[in-house]
Amino acid sequence: MKTVPLEHLASLPSARPFQELSQEEIRRNAQIAHLSPDFIGTMDLHYHPVYVNPAGLRMAGLPLDIDVTTIDVTMHHPAWAIRQMMEVSFLAARDHGIWIGESALLTTGGEEIPVSQAIFAHYDNRGEIEFYTFVMRDIRALKQAEKGLQDSTATIRGLFESAGALMGVVEMMDDGDVHHITDNPKTASFFVGCEIDKSRPITCRCMGVTESIIQQWREACLESLQTGLPVHFYFSHIYPVGKKYLSTTICHIQNSSADRPRFAYIAEDVTERRKAEIERNRFFSLSLDLFTILSMDGTIMDVNAGWTETLGWSVSQLCQRNVMDFVSREDLQRALAELGSNVGGKSTTNFLVRMLHADGSTRWVQWRSHPSIEEELIYAAGRDVTSELEAIRMSAEADKLSAIGLLAAGVAHEFKNYLGGILGNATYALEELADPSSNDSVKDSLQQIVEASTRANAVAMSLLSYSRSSSNDFSSEDVVSLVHKTLELMKEELSSSAISVTTHYDNIPRVWMIPGRIQQVMLNLLFNARHAIKVNGSITITLRATTDSVFIDVRDTGCGISPENLSRIFDPFFSTKGVWGKDEFAGTGMGLSISRNIAHEHIGDLTVTSTVGEGSTFTLRLPIDSPHAKDSTAESIAKQNQGIILFSVNSGSIAGYKREAQPLNVSISICDTIESLSASIASAPTLYILDVTFPGKVELMRVVDLLKRTGIRIALINCATMGSDFVGCGGSSSLSFKETPALGTILGQIVI
């Protein structure tokens, strides 16, 4: 690159004349110009280049060793930039010493590079212009950013102008009003009814907005200003288009250069949704049914007045409590399981549960619920069916009496046969007694009398067992025996129609049940099977067991159930018999509904499968371990009105046992000597509780030996204190505890 005088370089960043600069300053300024990343050069009064630094040559696409004096300036600027330099830039620099603006540089490849340019005029001591300095900076990145910003602004403006939502910018006025700085066209027509006149300020007050709504706007603005977060609120107002409900979100615009804080808002017209909510709430509040909205953990978010009408609880007593607090203890586990199904996305239909009333009683409520996974809420509706269930119970009793009437005819026929055999054999025996040689035939006759009487007694006892089974107590029962008793009652009814019965039993465990209720279900299923078969068919009863349930399958070879009726077969008052259906047998439509309710009462179920023309199979499932078991034990102890004897139990445990026994109405007696213990045997107590820590090991042995002969249950407590000597010493009737247990724990292990 051709060398140039240092004075040209030295003068670039200095406002002082060259003659006043030291040699050090000249070298420093020259070095700055040479190393600068910007385009720096000098030009004589005829606009010919004298110096161009390396950055400038690279920007123009010129070789670094070029003779800059040979560069034609007009070849490295577009025409419009040359005109600007000749007509504006140099004239301004001549008159004012400097010109700053934007220009463009042409590279040797023809690319136009936008630059920001400064031109300085340098004067000699006489005040005459000696040469010009020019500095250019590449602003392509800046121009691209500006273009991107302009495009974004245009896009945002387009969205703003064409948006279907109501949006704009507002600011708070000193007088408390809210000033609409700008609104999109839809907002203008919505709020004002026409295009906004931007020559005058548009405020909430001039649009007729009430002071209370203006206050809502101001409070939302202040909250967003303080938190920096969007704020959501609802309001309603009568606009030119009518009364509208608006859902509005407002947010402070940070780094705004305006004098007052400004806020962007977007509003949605939710009038129709609000009207629907009002209608829903009206129905919600007027309905006598129980409506509630729950969170996924069961917390009550909202309830209607039906809860107060039905269960006596006020809204304030219910909300923010868990719904399980109002479910009876007997149904709590089932209710928790059903809530778990809702959380998993499954809807509930016809879930029957006992709910607690404020007066301490319970009401049967039938629930339907639907989870909203998106909202994380559960919507539920319940209906008090206590009266309906009582009506069903009474209907069940009526059905039971009707069944007894039907069974009585069969029993009378059976008795006629048995009594005929008894009478004939007895007459024959009396005649034969006169002949001493006829002892063998008399013996046979008497044996037949005994057998006929036994069969007659079995039939009578089966009928009496069913007709008298009004107890609601759960007890541990032999399912096989119950099925046999039921078949004994149906024997004549089935044989008269040429219907055979086949049974298949596995090793079936005992089941906790109300035997009369389950026998009622079995009778209902057998009657239905007999009616479906009419004549010449078969019924197969299969009992099978799993680890937690017993299943009773009743399969018939009858006509089957049509698909359209199968889904309704358990509905109350639905029947295919008599006046309700097309069958010659009478039917009320309550039998299967009652039977399924009995199954549910036992925490079981009753289901059906059927094929038209082939027959049906009803399956009764009963849990082996019932939640009623432990409660029934304690209740049965209480109902026996028998007491518990405490022998040498410490005073602290005695006080605890007395407190636990009080609600069960069980009496507690205390003995400290063998003599008093012997006397207590006469009262036939339900249970003896012995504390093995009392003094005298031999005496304890005497106590245990005495009680073993009585057959009364024994509970040995604190066995660990004297080793294992006494564990099981009471035989099969004893219970052993290493520490002092609660009374309920002891009673829970007694099977009455």
Per-residue pLDDT, 554: 95
Say if pTM beats, i.e. exceeds, 0.75: no
Whole-number pLDDT of residue 84:
92
164-168, 579-583, 586-590, range with the lowest pLDDT = 579-583
Q: Is the distance from CB of 479 to CB of 529 less than 8 angstroms?
A: no
Lowest average pLDDT, out of 22-31, 368-377, 593-602, goes to 22-31
| Residue 175 binned pLDDT confidence (cut-offs 50, 70, 90) | confident
Q: pLDDT per residue over 665-689, tens digit each? A: 677 888 777 667 767 766 667 777 7
* From 402-416, 444-458, 572-586, the region with the lowest mean pLDDT: 572-586
Model confidence at 581: pLDDT above 60: no
Question: At 234, is the pLDDT very low, low, confident or very high (cuts 50, 70, 90)?
Answer: confident
pLDDT at 39 (0 to 100): 93
Question: How confident is the model at residue 637, as a pLDDT?
Answer: 46
Return the minimum-mean-pLDDT range out of 75-89, 192-206, 351-365, 553-567: 192-206
Task: Give the pLDDT of residue 725.
Answer: 46
Q: What pLDDT sits at residue 438?
A: 59
Q: Which of 78-92, 259-273, 677-691 has the highest mean pLDDT?
A: 78-92
pLDDT (tens digit per residue) in 196-229: 555 566 777 877 778 888 888 889 999 998 988 9
Report percent pLDDT > 70 for the chain: 66
Q: What percent of the chain has pLDDT over 90?
A: 17
> Which of the two residues, 5 and 246, has the higher pLDDT score?
246
Most confident of 223-227, 254-258, 576-580, 634-638: 223-227
What does the pLDDT read at residue 203?
79
pLDDT tops 60 at residue 34: yes
Of 291, 313, 426, 307, the C-alpha closest to 360 is 313
Domains and CATH numbers, the chain: 6-138 (3.30.450.20), 146-274 (3.30.450.20), 287-384 (3.30.450.20), 391-623 (3.30.565.10), 629-747 (3.40.50.2300)
Length, in residues, of the chain: 752
Position 608 pLDDT exceeds 90 = yes
How many beta carbons lie within 10 A of that of residue 657, not counting itself?
Answer: 21
* pLDDT tens digit sequence for 102-133: 999 999 888 999 999 999 998 888 888 888 99
Q: Average pLDDT, stretch 593-617?
A: 87
Q: What is the mean pLDDT of the chain?
A: 76
Q: Give the number of other CB atoms < 10 A from CB of residue 297.
A: 12
With contact defined as beta carbons under 8 Å apart, do 737 and 715 qualify? yes
Q: Which distant-in-sequence residues (6+ apart) come within 8 Å of 291 by Cβ? A: 284, 303, 304, 306, 380, 381, 382
How far is residue 635's CA from residue 641's CA, in Å, rounded to a whole number?
10
Please give the average per-residue pLDDT across 285-307, as a whole number.
85
Instruction: Quickly list DSSP for 134-175.
Output: EEEEE-HHHHHHHHHHHHHHHHHHHHHHH-SSEEEEEEE-TT
Per-residue pLDDT reduced to its tens digit, 645-661: 777 777 767 777 777 77
C-alpha–C-alpha distance, residues 737 and 720, integer Å: 8
Determine the pLDDT at residue 557.
93
Ranges 132-141, 162-171, 500-509, 606-615: which has the least confidence: 162-171
| Burial of 645 (C-beta count, 10 Å sphere; 0-12/13-18/19+) | buried
Using only C-alpha atoms, the chain has a radius of gyration, in whole angstroms, of 51
Averaged pLDDT, 218-242: 82
In whole angstroms, what is the distance from residue 70 CA to residue 1 CA? Answer: 11
pLDDT band (50, 70, 90) for residue 330:
confident
* Cβ 250 vs Cβ 224: under 8 Å: yes
Task: List helix spans (H) across 642-752.
Answer: 651-661, 674-680, 697-708, 743-747
Output the pLDDT for position 638.
46
585-593's contacts with Cβ under 8 Å and 24+ in sequence apart are: 585/531, 588/395, 588/399, 590/392, 590/395, 590/396, 590/399, 591/399, 591/524, 591/527, 591/528, 592/524, 592/528, 593/392
Q: What is the pLDDT of residue 611?
A: 92
647 and 677 Cβ atoms separated by less than 8 Å: yes
Those residues with Cβ within 8 angstroms of residue 605's Cβ, 6 or more apart along the chain or in another chain: 596, 599, 620, 621
Identify the pLDDT of residue 592: 83
Report which listed range, 58-67, 482-491, 578-587, is most confident.
Answer: 58-67
CA–CA dist 664, 641 (Å, integer)? 10
Detail the DSSP E strand segments found in 571-643: 605-611, 615-623
Residue 326 — pLDDT band, cuts 50, 70, 90?
Answer: very high
Span 74-87, average pLDDT: 90
Give the residue-averaged pLDDT of 136-155.
81
pLDDT band at 434 (very low <50, low <70, confident <90, very high): low
Dihedral sign for Cα 153, 158, 163, 167, please.
positive
